[in-house]
Amino acid sequence: MSDDLRKRRPQDASKISLTEPWEVEYWTVALGVSSAELRRLVQQYGHSAATIRSKIR
């Protein structure tokens, strides 16, 4: 069975990581925000996906 690298998901979906471009793309699509907005939110509130979700809804 081969891995489909086009459908990457974070290893730990509870934390938002901005280190890889595909991770930024994953989170911007998942959360419906721009990369600049995602970076601002992470800088302001930390890397918790639950916290970031609560701030954008």
pLDDT digits (tens, 9 = 90+) for 6-39: 668 888 999 999 999 999 999 999 999 999 999 9
pTM: 0.84
Flag whether pLDDT at 1 surpasses 70: no
**CA separation for the pair 25, 35 (Å, rounded):** 7
Range(s) of the domain holding residue 50: 17-56
Residue 19: per-residue pLDDT: 94
Residue 22: per-residue pLDDT: 95
User: Does residue 34 lie within any of the structural domains?
Assistant: yes
The structure tokens listed for 34 are 């721009």
Q: Helices 21-31 and 35-45 meet at what angle, rounded to 10?
A: 90
Number of compact structural domains in the chain: 1
The structure tokens listed for 12 are 């730990």
User: Does residue 41 lie within any of the structural domains?
Assistant: yes
The structure tokens listed for 50 are 């639950």
Between 9 and 46, whose confidence is greater? 46
